[in-house]
Amino acid sequence: MNTAWQKTKAWTRFVLMVILVAYLVAFVLLNSGQSVSLWLFVGVRPQVSLLLLIFLTLVAGALVVIAWRAIAESIWQLKQFFAPRAGAAEKDGGGKENG
């Protein structure tokens, strides 16, 4: 059974999605004709579309986050691998000779 709260929640989500889509359409339409000068290297300044630059910046940021996460995970795994194990000393007699 649909309650008033569920209907309000659904309509709020719908209105927010419509506002977001309208903003994205307006953003694309207003920035589609603009070009910017991108500095790549000394003497190299190609003209690129502002939308393309924003998209490439977003992709580069996502790749940096993925790479950073992979590096952090690898460092954590290496720390775990090389960390002294608590039970290792007890298994081999604690470093003392048996007998």
Output the six-digit token pair for 79: 């720390």
Average pLDDT over residues 66-78: 95
Q: Do residues 57 and 65 touch, judged by C-beta distance below 8 A?
A: no
- 71 lies in some domain: yes
- 94 lies in some domain: no
What's at 39, amino acid-wise?
W
- 18 lies in some domain: yes
pLDDT in tens, 38-61: 888 888 888 888 888 888 999 999
pTM of the model as a whole: 0.56
The number of folded domains in the chain is 1
Domain that holds residue 52: 14-82
- 52 lies in some domain: yes
Output the six-digit token pair for 45: 């300044």
